[in-house]
Amino acid sequence: MIVGIDLGTTNSLIGVYDGGFVTLIADQGGRRLTPSVVHYPEEGEPLVGRAAERMRVLRPERTVFSVKRYMGRRIGEESPDMPYGLAGERGAPVQIDLGDRTVSPEEVSAEILRKLKADAERALGCAVDKAVVTVPAYFNDAQRTATKRAGELAGLEVVRIVNEPTAAALAYGLERMSENTRIAVYDFGGGTFDVSILELTGGVFQVLSTNGNTRLGGDNIDASLVRHLEEECGFVVTDPAARARLLEAAIEAKHRLSDAEETVVNLPFLESVSSSEFVLTRAMLEQIALPWVEKTRAHCLRALADANMEPSALDELILVGGSTRMPLVRRVAGEVFGRIPNCTRNPDEAVAEGAALQAAILEGTLTQVVLLDITPLSLGIETFGGLMNIILPRNSTIPCKAGEMFTNALPGQRAMLIRVLQGERELANDNWELGRFEIPFQPLPKGQARVGVQFEIDANGILSVLARDTATGLEQVVSMTSAVEVSDEAVEKMLGDALENAFEDMNARVFTEARLKAEEMLPSVAKALAMAGDRLSDQERARIMGCEAEVRDKLAGGAAQPLKKAVAALDEATQGLAALVMEMAMNPPPKGE
Ligand code: AMP
The ligand 1 atom nearest the CA atom of 347: 3
Work out whether strand 316-320 and strand 379-383 pair parallel, antiparallel, or are unpaired: unpaired
Give the pLDDT of residue 243.
84
Residue of 348, 351, 353 to test ligand 1 pocket, by largest number of atoms within 8 Å of CB: 348
Taking the C-alpha atoms of residue 504 and residue 497, their distance in angstroms, rounded to an integer, is: 11
Nearest CA among 80, 38, 71 for reference residue 55: 38
Q: Which atom of ligand 1 is nearest to the CA of 329?
A: 21
Q: Which of 435, 439, 401 is nearest to 419 (CA)?
A: 435
Question: Ligand 1 pocket: which of 255, 257, 280 to mutate (most atoms <8 Å of CB)?
Answer: 255
Say how far apart CA 77 and CA 99 lie, in whole Å: 22
CA of 343 to the centre of ligand 1 (A): 15
Protein residue with its CA nearest to atom 1 in ligand 1: 189
Listing DSSP states for 220-250 in one string gives: HHHHHHHHHHHHHHTS---SHHHHHHHHHHH
Q: Are 428 and 382 in contact (CB under 8 A)?
A: yes
Contact 193, 299 (CB under 8 A): yes
Residue type, 179: E
State the burial class of residue 290 (Cβ atoms within 10 Å of its Cβ: 0-12, 13-18, 19+): middle
Q: What angle do CA 23, 323, 264 make, to 5 degrees?
A: 110
Q: For residue 2, what are the CA distances in angstroms to 54, 110, 256, 288, 348?
A: 31, 17, 36, 43, 21
User: How much distance in Å is there from the Cα of 501 to the middle of ligand 1?
Assistant: 48
Q: From the CA of 183, how far away is ligand 1's center (Å)? A: 22
Residues 6+ apart with CB under 8 A from 15: 3, 4, 5, 22, 23, 24, 25, 349, 352, 353, 355, 356
Ligand 1 atom nearest residue 221's Cα: 10
Is 537 buried (19+), middle (13-18) or exposed (0-12) by CB count in 10 A?
exposed
pLDDT of residue 593: 43
Say how many C-beta atoms besides its own lie within 10 A of residue 411's C-beta. 12
Strands 130-135 and 157-163: parallel
- Total residues found in the chain within this entry: 593
Which residue numbers are catalytic? 6, 68, 164, 187
| The 3-state secondary structure of 58-83, one letter per residue | HCHHHEEECHHHHCCCECCCCCCCCC
Measured in Å, residue 254 CA sits from the centre of ligand 1 at 9
Please tell me the residue having the least CA distance from ligand 1 atom 7: 190
pLDDT at residue 484, as a whole number: 61
Cα of 223 from ligand 1 centre, angstroms:
14
Q: Which helix or strand (DSSP H or E) is residue 262 part of?
A: strand 262-267
pTM here? 0.66
Half-sphere exposure of residue 537: CA atoms within 13 angstroms, side-chain side:
4
Q: How far is CA 216 from CA 71, 265, 293, 337, 495, in A?
A: 18, 25, 9, 19, 40
Output the CA 513–ligand 1 centroid distance in Å: 55
Class of residue 170 by CB neighbours under 10 A (exposed 0-12, middle 13-18, buried 19+): buried
Residue of 214, 226, 325, 346 to mutate, ligand 1, most atoms within 8 A of C-beta: 325
Which residues are CB-neighbours of 5 under 8 A, at least 6 positions away? 12, 13, 14, 15, 113, 116, 131, 132, 133, 134, 352, 355
Provide residues with CB under 6 Å of ligand 1: 8, 10-11, 189-190, 217-219, 251, 254-255, 258, 321-323, 325-326, 348
Q: Whose CA is nearest to atom 20 of ligand 1?
A: 255
Q: Which atom of ligand 1 is the closest one to the Cα of 217?
A: 10
Rounded mean pLDDT for each run of 10 residues along the chain, 593 residues in total: 95 93 92 96 96 90 92 77 84 91 96 98 96 88 87 94 91 76 94 90 77 89 93 81 86 96 84 74 98 96 91 95 97 96 93 94 73 73 91 79 86 88 91 89 86 83 85 86 67 82 86 91 90 88 93 90 93 89 79 51
Closest CA to 85 of 61, 104, 101, 59: 61
Q: Are 345 and 317 in contact (CB under 8 A)?
A: no
The secondary structure element, H or E, covering residue 414 is none
Ligand 1 atom closest to Cα of 187? 3
Bond before 80 cis per omega within 30 degrees: no
Question: For residue 173, what are the CA distances in angstroms to 227, 342, 373?
Answer: 41, 12, 16
Q: What pLDDT is recorded for position 143? A: 85
Tell me the β-bridge partners of 11. Answer: 35
3-state secondary structure of 382: strand
Pairwise CA distance, residues 262 & 411, whole Å? 83
Ligand 1 centroid to residue 345 C-alpha, Å: 14
Q: Judge contact between 470 and 448, C-beta under 8 A.
A: no
CA neighbor of 5 nearest in space, from 142, 140, 127, 159:
159
Cβ contacts of 566 within 8 Å, gap of 6 or more = 518, 547, 550, 551, 553, 554
Q: Are 462 and 486 in contact (CB under 8 A)?
A: no
- What is the spatial distance between Cα 349 and Cα 320, in angstroms, rounded to a whole number? 8
